[in-house]
Amino acid sequence: MASVLVTMGRTRIRVRRRGRLLLALLLAVLSVLVMPLIFPARAHDGDAATVTVVVRPGDTLWELARTYGPQDADTRLTVHRIRQLNGLATAAIRPGQRLQIPPR
Cβ(100)–Cβ(86) below 8 Å: yes
User: Measured in whole angstroms, how far is the alpha carbon of residue 73 from the centre of its chain?
Assistant: 23
The predicted model gives 18-37 an average pLDDT of 87
Q: What is the pLDDT of residue 62?
A: 95
pLDDT digits (tens, 9 = 90+) for 31-83: 888 887 787 765 554 445 888 999 999 999 999 999 988 888 899 999 999 99
Q: What is the pLDDT of residue 93?
A: 95
Distance (Å, whole) CA 21 – CA 26: 9
Exposed / middle / buried, residue 70 (Cβ in 10 Å: 0-12, 13-18, 19+)? middle
Long-range contact set of residues 85-90: C-beta below 8 Å, sequence gap at least 24: 85/46, 85/47, 85/50, 88/61
pLDDT at 9 over 90: no
pLDDT at 16 over 60: yes
User: Is the pTM above the cut of 0.75?
Assistant: no
